[in-house]
Structure 1
Amino acid sequence: MSTKHEGWGWMLAVDFFFAGMGGGMVLITGLLELFAGSGRLSLLGNVMGPLFMCIGCGFLILELGRPFQAWRVFMNPKAILTAGAWLMSVAIVAGLVYASFDLDPSWFKQDKLIWQDWDLLRKLLAVVCVITGLVVATYPGVLLGRHKGRPFWVGPGIMTLFMLSSIVTGASAHFVSALIYPPGSVPGIWHNLPTFVGGLLFFQLVGWLGYIWIKRTGTTAAEAASALKWINGQYADSFKAAFIFVGTLVPLVLVMIPSTLCQGIGALLVLVGGVVMRCLVVYAGEERTWLPGEQKYRKRLPTGNEAFLKAWSR
């Protein structure tokens, strides 16, 4: 990675997308189990939530480098990455075990799978899915908001925006999954999820406009300058056209139309907007504030082409 220690690339944005969407799906799965009953979601969606988190983990490992030493992220109890890794692992396991309750016993040439009668375990797994899913959905925003040197990220606002995006992309992914593999209770999907997605899209729109406005008018000069690039700078076109219009406003209209085709297209556009948003946020973090004298120090560091380094390598 050419920008190591300075910024991150597209793979981190893809990790945030898949992990956040998977966390949102697991969260929704657990909530519906606890408050609406079983069979409200597609088995495909219940399986894909944990698998999406696994895909996100894979991209993160590739982005950080040294994939064969990835186990070290689990070994530092004081690091926020360690806490996130453990909670994501629990969410993946709990989500997959929960999904197994809806497996068709005929696939295994049996009348019933023995654990499918353990209702208490199913409810406990749902509670674990709610807790860990919420953490995973929010975690990318927490991680970015702690970077005080990155003016566009710093603060709790980015955490809320990531949580909203994770839940709305998770709900949209559940809806698309139900189109492919219908759930046991079809009305619970067709009549409720699109309205839920539309409401979240509205709050996401308000949240982002408020976040940009606050950064531009009520924070430090560095934060105001970073927000200006989202209004009429290098990120403005992608932010306004790809995220706000294509990824938020258009699907907000489509999911409210009582047509399965329109709602399905709207759900897919929500996923597109989720990817665009994360890419923009990650690349915006390449701009950072510097400690006094830090730039001067970095300019004096060797680049690797110096004669004394070439002589040493011989």
Structure 2
Amino acid sequence: MAHEFNMDLTPQEEWSWLVAIDLFLGGLGGGLFLLYQIFGLSSAVALLSLGLVVLGGLVLLSELGHPLRAWRALLKPFSSWISRGVIFVALFLIFGALYVAPAFESFSWLPWGDDPTAKKTIGAIAGAAALLVTLYPGFVLAASPSIPFWNSPLLPVLFFSHSLMGASGVVFLLAPFALNGAALPAIRVVGEVLIATNFALIAIYLLTLRGAGLAAREAVRRLSEGALGWTFQVGVVLVGMILPLAVVIWLPSAAAFAGICILIGALLFRYCVLKAGVYVPFAMT
């Protein structure tokens, strides 16, 4: 049977700012917790990471038409990355809170605070969950074959690296409050590497998708032209990466400003990825 194809390229409109904000906050929270563990940052930073993930969840609930039915997202963990993501977030919040609680006077009585093995186990689970929180949004989008621009195994890597970069931006922003101690110089170097890495990954991603079919090429075009193109090129690339990299390298005393720039770019990155999505043309019998 012969088929005709609808060649109209339809941008997705279902996911926009609120989803982008949720992905931004969740990625920041997970990435920040990882930096907290790796560099031994203040326990206040760990609390902030948990709060960011909670706030992201609340934003997402406000996006749902029936937020009281959100529990249904747990019902398909073997087939749905959204279900897995909810589980990852829950594990992170539970074990992250358990891990950091003994550091505060009110909870210093908790038994695992003085048990290195138990604390290390709880910390390992919390860290693994934080890692998965940064990764799963990329898997959610990559599992969408109808939107080729998202349907790439590189997207989860991009979300992870951007989450860590955003988290380094939070650390830079907190620099004036002395919550990072002696770790700030090391995190500054990590931030430089992350910015350069994200720049390279985005370039590779766009070059790869440019040859991945009509819908993917249209998505790449949308990121280079028009209002979305300006948002991506100025907000994500210039403000979010090039400017903070220059500041961190040549004017480290202005790290807080670099942090603000990184956070702006990290939010706009999620927004641009969502808005660039274009549905593949479908066959009409």
| Residue of structure 1 in register with 2:94 after alignment | 93
| Residue of structure 2 in register with 1:52 after alignment | 52
Cα RMSD over matched residues? 2.1
Matches within 5 A, 1:14-25: 14-25=21-32
- Normalised by the length of structure 2, the TM-score is 0.88
2:134 match: secondary structure = helix
Shift of 1:180: 2.7
| Residue of structure 1 in register with 2:198 after alignment | 204
2:283 match: secondary structure = coil
| Residue of structure 1 in register with 2:83 after alignment | 82
The AA in structure 1 aligned to 2:268 is V
- Normalised by the length of structure 1, the TM-score is 0.80
Kindly indicate whether structure 1 or structure 2 has the higher relative contact order, using CA contacts under 8 Å at least 6 residues apart: 2
2:268 corresponds to which of 267, 271, 276: 276
| Residue of structure 2 in register with 1:302 after alignment | none
User: Mind listing any 5+ residue stretches in structure 1 that lack a counterpart?
Assistant: 33-39, 295-314
User: Mind listing any 5+ residue stretches in structure 2 that lack a counterpart?
Assistant: 1-11
Matches within 5 A, 1:68-217: 68-78=68-78, 79-103=80-104, 105=105, 108=106, 113-115=109-111, 116-180=113-177, 182-183=179-180, 186-188=181-183, 190-216=184-210
Number of aligned residue pairs: 272
Shift of 1:159: 1.5
2:168 and 2:55 mapped to 1: Cα distance? Answer: 18
Q: Is the 8 A contact 2:85 2:137 kept in 1?
A: no
The percent of aligned pairs where both chains have the same amino acid is 22
Q: Which has the greater radius of gyration? A: 1
2:282 match: secondary structure = coil
Q: Is the 8 A contact 1:43 1:102 kept in 2?
A: yes
Shift of 1:76: 2.6
Q: Deviations over 1:101-123 (max 9, x none)?
A: 322x2xx4x9x545432222221
Shift of 1:259: 3.4
Q: Is the 8 A contact 2:33 2:49 kept in 1?
A: yes
The AA in structure 2 aligned to 1:292 is A
1:191 match: secondary structure = helix
Q: Is the 8 A contact 2:81 2:139 kept in 1?
A: no
Q: Which moved more, 1:68-77 or 1:12-21?
A: 68-77
Q: Deviations over 1:139-169 (max 9, x none)?
A: 1111111111112211112221111101111
1:255 match: secondary structure = helix
1:254 and 1:148 mapped to 2: Cα distance? Answer: 39
